[in-house]
Amino acid sequence: MKPRLKKLSVTMLGLGLGFGLVTSALADATLKEVMDARGLTEKDMLAAAKTYTPTGGRDEYLAFSSGGQSGHVIVYGIPSMRILKYIGVFTPEPWQGYGFDDESKAVLDMGNPNGEIKFGDTHHPAFSETEGEYNGRYLFINDKANPRIAVIDLHDFETKQIVSNPFFRSAHGGAFVTPNTEYVMDAAQYAAPYKGTGFVPLEEFNDKYRGGLTYWKFDDKKGRIDEANSFTFEMPPYSQDLSDAGKKVSAGWGFTNSFCSERYVGGIEKGRPPFEAGCSQKDTDFMHVTNWKKAAELVAAGKVKKVDGSYMIPIEQAVAEGLLYLIPEPKSPHGVDVSPDGTHIVVSGKLDSHAWVYSWEKIQKAINNKKFEGKDPYGIPIIAMKDALHKQVQVGLGPLHTQYDSKECVVYTSIYVDSMVTKWDYCEGKVLDQIHIHYNIGHLMTMEGDSASPDGKYLVALNKLAIDRFNPVGPLHPQNHQLIDISGDKMKLLYDMPIPLGEPHYVVAIKADKLKPVVRYASGWDSRKDERSPWKTRAGREKVERVDGVVHVYGTVIRSHITPEIIEVEEGETVSIHLTNLERAEDETHGFAVYSENVQLSIEPGKTVSTTFKADKAGVYPYYCTEFCSALHLEMQGYLLVKPKGYQAKASKMDEGQAYTKADYDKQVKTNVDTQAVINSVVGFITSHNYKDFPQVVALVEDATDQLGFADEAKKKAEGYAAKGDYQNATLWAGQHWQYQVKTADMGLRAKTYLEQNGAVKVPAK
Ligand code: RUQ
Ligand code: CUA
| Ligand 1 centroid from CA 444, angstroms | 10
Query: Counting beta carbons within 10 angstroms of the beta carbon of residue 469, is it exposed (0 to 12), middle (13 to 18) or buried (19 or more)?
Result: middle
Q: What SS3 class is residue 468?
A: coil
Please give the number of the atom of ligand 2 that sits closest to the Cα of 562: 1
**Long-range contacts for 666-669 (Cβ within 8 Å, ≥24 apart)?**
668/731, 668/734, 668/735, 668/738, 669/718, 669/734
| Ligand 1 centroid from CA 478, angstroms | 17
Measuring CA to CA, which residue among 643, 633, 634, 536 is closest to residue 579?
Answer: 536
The per-residue pLDDT for range 328-353, each reduced to its tens digit, is 998 889 889 999 999 999 999 888 89
Please give the number of the atom of ligand 2 that sits closest to the Cα of 589: 1
H helix count then E strand count, the chain: 13, 44
Q: Give the ligand with the smallest distance to the CA of 601.
A: 2
- Place 761 in a pLDDT band, splitting at 50, 70 and 90: very high
The per-residue pLDDT for range 590-607, each reduced to its tens digit, is 999 999 999 999 999 999
- Place 113 in a pLDDT band, splitting at 50, 70 and 90: low
Alpha-carbon gap, residue 227 to 217, rounded angstroms: 7
DSSP 58-79: --SEEEEEE-GGG-EEEEEEET
**Residue in 443, 450, 463, 481 to alter for ligand 1 test, most ligand atoms within 8 A of Cβ:** 443
Please give the number of the atom of ligand 2 that sits closest to the Cα of 557: 1
| pLDDT surpasses 50 at 610 | yes
| pLDDT surpasses 50 at 406 | yes
HSE toward the beta carbon, residue 434, CA cutoff 13 A: 15
Q: Which residues line ligand 1 (CB under 6 A)?
A: 123-124, 172, 242, 334, 400-401, 442-443, 505-506
Q: Whose CA is closest to atom 4 on ligand 1?
A: 505
Please give the number of the atom of ligand 2 that sits closest to the Cα of 634: 2
Q: Give the ligand with the smallest distance to the CA of 402.
A: 1
**Domain chopping of the chain, boundaries:** 3-51, 61-514, 525-643, 662-757
* pLDDT of 297: 98
Alpha-carbon gap, residue 186 to 213, rounded angstroms: 6
Q: 111 or 70, which is more confident? A: 70
The per-residue pLDDT for range 491-533, each reduced to its tens digit, is 999 999 999 999 989 999 999 999 999 999 999 999 999 999 9
* pLDDT of 747: 85
Residue 670 host element (H or E): helix 662-687
Q: Residue 75: which residues within 8 A CB-CB, separation 6 or more?
A: 62, 63, 64, 65, 83, 84, 85, 86, 87, 157
Alpha-carbon gap, residue 103 to 11, rounded angstroms: 57
Segment 629-639 shows an average pLDDT of: 94
| Ligand 2 centroid from CA 730, angstroms | 25
Average pLDDT score, the chain: 93
| Ligand 1 centroid from CA 460, angstroms | 14
Measuring CA to CA, which residue among 154, 155, 126 is closest to residue 140?
Answer: 126
Alpha-carbon gap, residue 354 to 348, rounded angstroms: 7
| Ligand 1 centroid from CA 312, angstroms | 27
Please give the number of the atom of ligand 2 that sits closest to the Cα of 624: 2
Residue 759 CB neighbour total at 10 angstroms: 8
- Place 710 in a pLDDT band, splitting at 50, 70 and 90: confident
Is the previous residue joined to 647 through a cis bond, with omega within 30 degrees of 0?
A: no
| Ligand 2 centroid from CA 506, angstroms | 36
With beta carbons less than 8 A apart as the criterion, state whether 268 and 305 touch: no
Please give the number of the atom of ligand 1 that sits closest to the Cα of 416: 2
Amino acid letter, 206? N
CATH of 61-514, one of 3.40.1110.10, 3.40.50.2300, 1.10.10.10, 2.130.10.10: 2.130.10.10
The per-residue pLDDT for range 723-752, each reduced to its tens digit, is 999 999 999 999 999 988 888 888 888 899
With beta carbons less than 8 A apart as the criterion, state whether 299 and 229 touch: yes
Please give the number of the atom of ligand 1 that sits closest to the Cα of 334: 5
| Ligand 1 centroid from CA 505, angstroms | 5
Q: Whose CA is closest to atom 1 on ligand 2?
A: 590
Query: What CATH number belongs to 525-643?
Result: 2.60.40.420
Residue 677 host element (H or E): helix 662-687
The per-residue pLDDT for range 1-40, each reduced to its tens digit, is 444 444 444 444 444 444 444 555 788 899 999 999 999 9
User: Exposed e or buried b for every residue in 252-272, given b needs 16+ CB within 10 A?
Assistant: bbbbbbbbbbbbbbeeeeeee
- Place 111 in a pLDDT band, splitting at 50, 70 and 90: confident
DSSP class of 110: H
- CA–CA distance from 411 to each of 14, 393, 422, 428, 445 (Å)? 47, 12, 8, 12, 11
- Place 539 in a pLDDT band, splitting at 50, 70 and 90: confident
The phi, psi pair for 203, rounded to 5°, reads: -60, -25
* pLDDT of 584: 87
| Ligand 2 centroid from CA 634, angstroms | 7
| Ligand 2 centroid from CA 85, angstroms | 20
**Long-range contacts for 687-691 (Cβ within 8 Å, ≥24 apart)?**
688/762, 688/763, 688/765, 689/755, 689/760, 689/761, 689/762, 689/763, 690/760, 690/761, 690/762, 690/763, 691/751, 691/755, 691/760
| pLDDT surpasses 70 at 181 | yes
| Ligand 1 centroid from CA 428, angstroms | 27
Measuring CA to CA, which residue among 513, 638, 521, 643 is closest to residue 577?
Answer: 638
| pLDDT surpasses 80 at 109 | yes
Q: Which residues line ligand 2 (CB under 6 A)?
A: 560, 590, 625, 627-629, 633, 636
| pLDDT surpasses 60 at 694 | yes
* pLDDT of 405: 98
Q: Does 525-643 match 61-514 at the fold level?
A: no
